[in-house]
Amino acid sequence: MPRLSGRDAANYVSGGDAGTVTIAPKPVTVTIDPISTVYGSYVAPSVSVWGLVNGEQNWVKPNFDVVGASGFLTYNDRSNAGSYTQQVTGLHLENGFSGMPDYTKNYVFVSTPGASAPLTIARKPLTFTPAASTTAVYGDALTLGALSGVLPGDDVGVRLEAGDGFQSQQLLSGNGTLNYATRVDAGDHLWSASLTGSRRGNYVVDPIGGRVSIARRDVIYGIKDAEGVYGNYTRACTPSGCTPLPYLPGATTFQGVLSGDTLGGNVAFTDLNGQLITIDGSTHVGTYFEVLTGLTGDSAKNYRIADSGSRPGLYKILPMPLSYTVSSGVFLGQLYGTPGEATLSDLQGPITGRLDIAPIVTAYDPQGRPVSDLSQLTVGRYTFRVTGLTGADTHDYRVGDGPAGTLDVFASSSLGLGLVEPLPTPPVIPIVAPVASPPAGGRRR
């Protein structure tokens, strides 16, 4: 039987048998605040617990978890971007000490709609800054822009996509400048790139790309001086004529061509006034310019001839030499032959009737001195050589080689050779008077 206690217990009497007291666990509910954050920024979960006896909230804590499509998540500032669920599934004792009662037995967790809430981690925005200049010169490294916003230690980079003259290659790991060193052909090009790396899914960036304009690279050239002969005929002439060969300019060299590139050029001729001309077998003797009118080769599209600094070559067309022969003669009391008459020839043969050119013949006395008066001859050998040309067509010709003509002057019939002996003076035969013949049958006394 229950006993009464208290100051006034003596005034009362207890009646009835002793009963059973049942203390039920107290219901506990929770409310979780939704979280919306950005990758790299941690927002602590906020869970409100309702129904705990005052003071016991220091030890009785909710069982809080974050769950995603792949299971439970350890939520922190580097948790992958995505959508998750915050949830409470029960209570546990926390921060207890030895001998502390298990207060969780005095409570029962009641799941309500507030016991779960969304956790949204958005991808972190990155900043792509295009390069200040969108032009470059062929062969120079390209600066395409810069990327910023990647968190330290994250495996995130930028890879250039292949296309429109660009090759696919990794441009950057982390933050920094996007540099592309591989040569891109001259012209306008579009480029684009994308994020790479194991953590790239946690970031978002506006399209990475743009347009670049690649200018041709300047080169200067030099052409070696050269020369040819008027007519430029081959030596293989036939009776029907000779075939002119093409005039070949001097070799061309370049400065400013990048290693591995192949470059050539089209050489043309101009007169001294800069007018383009065609040099062939009929081009007159003179000096002309060799100039480059265009580039050739696999890399020609990436180069241009600089406005200054190049050296054109000089091309000289020299006069064609005319060979000659000169007739010879002998003077022995009188002139035999017609010495000093010259015949001029080119590779086709004698020019008589084809060209208005006449030879100028100079005579030399036996001592090698030029003479103009041959009326007073001395014993010895005179020579005749062609020393000049005259006529309307002489501008494109000069005197070539040829054998000299001669005039040998002799004082006697020996011809100065000592091969003929002079005849001896014949003896004088005395004149004797005839003797008469005796008569027949008679005798001389």
3-state helix, strand, coil in the chain (%, to 5): 5, 45, 50
pLDDT of amino acid 384: 96
- Give the SS3 label for residue 321: strand
Tell which residue, 324, 352, 328, 357, has the closest CA to residue 340: 328
Structure tokens at 242: 């000779």
| CA pair distance 250, 311, nearest whole angstrom | 12
**H or E segment to which residue 322 belongs:** strand 320-326
DSSP string for residues in 15-77: -S-------PPEEEEEEE--EEEETT------EEEESPPTTGGGTEEEEEEEEETTEE---ST
CATH classification (class only), 219-318: mainly beta
pLDDT of amino acid 420: 37
Q: What is the dihedral of CA 73, 75, 79, 83, to 10 degrees?
A: 70
pLDDT of amino acid 418: 41
125-215 classified as CATH 2.102.10.10: no
19-122 classified as CATH 1.10.10: no
| CA pair distance 88, 82, nearest whole angstrom | 20
Q: In the sheet where 82-93 sits, what is the strand order? A: 35-38, 116-122, 82-93, 60-68, 71-72
What is the CB neighbour count within 10 angstroms for residue 193? 27
pLDDT of amino acid 57: 86
Tell which residue, 63, 162, 79, has the closest CA to residue 119: 79
pLDDT of amino acid 374: 86
What single-letter amino acid sits at 277? I
pLDDT of amino acid 433: 41
Q: What is the dihedral of CA 236, 237, 242, 248, to 10 degrees?
A: 20
Claim: this prediction has a pTM higher than 0.85: no
pLDDT tens for the 445 residues of the chain, in order: 566 677 776 666 666 566 788 889 999 999 999 999 999 999 999 999 999 998 888 889 999 999 999 999 999 999 999 999 999 999 999 887 888 888 899 999 998 888 999 999 999 999 999 999 999 999 999 999 999 999 999 999 999 999 999 999 999 999 999 999 999 999 999 999 999 999 999 999 999 999 999 999 999 999 999 998 898 765 556 666 666 778 889 999 999 999 999 999 999 999 999 999 999 888 999 999 999 999 999 999 999 999 999 999 999 999 999 999 999 999 998 899 999 999 999 888 899 999 999 999 999 999 999 998 888 889 999 999 999 999 999 999 999 999 999 999 998 654 444 433 443 444 444 443 443 333 333 333 3
